[in-house]
Amino acid sequence: MRNVDGLKVALLGLGSMNVAILKGLIKAGIQPENVIGTTMSALSATLTSRELGIRVLANEQQSGANRLAVDGVDLAIVGVLPPYVAGICTEISQDLPCHALVVSVAAGVSIGALESALRPGQPVVRTMPNTPLAVGSGSVGLTAGPHVDDDDVDLLRNLFSPGGRVHVIAESQMDEFNAMAGSAPGYLYYLAEHMTEAGIGLGFDQKTAARLTADTLLGAAKILANEVADNPSAAGDLRREMVLPGGTTRAAFLTFDERGMGEAIPAGMQSSAEQSAAISREIAEAD
Ligand SMILES: NC(=O)c1ccc[n+]([C@@H]2O[C@H](COP(=O)([O-])OP(=O)(O)OC[C@H]3O[C@@H](n4cnc5c(N)ncnc54)[C@H](OP(=O)(O)O)[C@@H]3O)[C@@H](O)[C@H]2O)c1
């Protein structure tokens, strides 16, 4: 069983996703001095190193930064954009210890593609996380490759648990998990953006409209999260409780329904899942 204490971790790429993951890892007990990160640019390396308190190597400053970063690690989390994932795995394959667990957070990169870029037998895990991991309310869809044992999965559950919930899913569900969780914070920002603009239209200044929107989303999300633990239909029940005949909330829903909002949301999520599948096909064809 791998131990969190003393576990050595490399984060290849330090964009919004790996930064959110790192915040959870630190809460899980990973010591910052045991973490090394990489970026492409020197500027990103300086900024992230300062913000996160870890050592960061920039590829543009140090050739072979990713290879140096994985030397002696127990866990390597690959957090670069999907088209670059296989290339980075090939680059690090000979320097990565055989026992090191490789976790990819990239949309559309299959376990097969990760395994073919690494040495035979390297344990590989494909995940689909989301950015609320940074504040303890994230979700991670996880599929383990054939060389990963139950202890490895337990370790990842422990590491991700301060950041959010881990759902072990079939790899065939990854596109749908992306639509439901990976991309989903963006849908709520979209709702918030429109609510804020509408608030300005109703006569509020931008600061007040933005504050009212964020506080309302947070409060409603907390109530929903409490209720959903015992009642999976809580969202609909809570919504119906707010609808009184002749009431103000009902007036809003009549307009939302008239404008087809109830159909637009599942259609948008379906498009997100289809785009994830399209990225997977493009990456598979490029390999
Ligand atoms: N963001 C999300 O909400 C989300 C959700 C689920 C999954 N994901 C997945 O997470 C992955 C990263 O997404 P992101 O939004 O975090 O991307 P991002 O913000 O664009 O960050 C990409 C990071 O990779 C670095 N990088 C680029 N080439 C590199 C190389 N050769 N070696 C090392 N580092 C390199 C970049 O460095 P510079 O800063 O110097 O350019 C940057 O730190 C993607 O595969 C995406 O599918 C993201």
Average pLDDT over residues 122-141: 96
Q: In the predicted model, what is the mean pLDDT of residues 215-229?
A: 97
What CA–CA distance (Å, rounded) separates 186 from 277?
Answer: 19
Report how far ligand 1's centroid is from the alpha carbon of 43 (Å): 15
By most ligand atoms within 8 Å of CB, the mutation choice from 77, 81, 114, 133 for ligand 1 is: 81
Strand ranges (DSSP E) for 146-220? 164-168
User: From ligand 1's centre to the CA of 68, what distance in Å?
Assistant: 19
Q: What is the mean pLDDT of residues 89-116?
A: 96
Q: State in Å: Cα 84 to ligand 1 middle.
A: 9
Q: Which CATH class name applies to 9-174?
A: alpha beta
Q: How confident is the model at residue 286 (pLDDT cuts 50, 70, 90)?
A: confident
- Domain coordinates in residue numbering, the chain: 9-174, 182-277
The answer to whether the CB of 280 is under 6 A from ligand 1 is no
Residue whose Cα lies nearest atom 20 of ligand 1: it is 15
Contact by Cβ (8 Å): 76, 92: yes
Which residues are bridge partners to 105 per DSSP?
A: none
> Which residue, by CA, sits nearest to atom 45 of ligand 1?
106
d(CA 210, CA 42): 34
| Confidence (pLDDT) at 285 | 82
- Angstrom distance (rounded) from CA 244 to CA 249: 8
The strand pairing partners of 141, in sequence order, are 128, 167
pLDDT tens per residue, range 136-188: 999 999 999 999 999 999 999 999 999 999 999 999 999 999 999 999 999 99
Determine which residue's CA is closest to atom 38 belonging to ligand 1.
Answer: 40
Predicted confidence at residue 225, as pLDDT, reads 95
> Considering only CA atoms, which residue is closest to atom 31 of ligand 1?
40
- What's the topology of domain 182-277? ProC C-terminal domain-like fold (1.10.3730)
Mutate to test the pocket of ligand 1, among 14, 17, 140, 276 (most ligand atoms within 8 A of CB): 17
Q: What is the pLDDT of residues 223-282, one digit of tens each?
A: 999 999 999 999 999 999 999 999 999 999 999 999 999 999 999 999 999 999 998 888
Nearest to 2 by CA among 136, 109, 133, 156: 156
CA angle (67 as vertex; 33, 45 as ends), nearest 5: 55
State the CB neighbour count (10 A cutoff) for residue 167: 15
Strand (E) or helix (H) holding 72: none
Bridging pattern class, strands 75-78 and 101-104: parallel
Distance 16 CA to ligand 1 centre (A): 7
* Rounded distance from Cα 273 to ligand 1 centre (Å): 20
Other C-beta atoms closer than 10 Å to the C-beta of 162 total: 16
pLDDT-derived band of residue 3, with 50, 70 and 90 as boundaries? confident
Residue 208 has what pLDDT?
98
pLDDT bucket at 1, cuts 50 / 70 / 90? low
Are β-strands 124-129 and 138-144 bridged in parallel, bridged antiparallel, or unpaired? Answer: antiparallel
pLDDT-derived band at 283 (thresholds 50, 70, 90) equals confident
Q: Is 131 in the pocket of ligand 1 (CB under 6 A)?
A: yes
pLDDT at 75: 97
pLDDT in tens, 48-81: 999 999 999 999 999 999 999 999 999 999 999 9
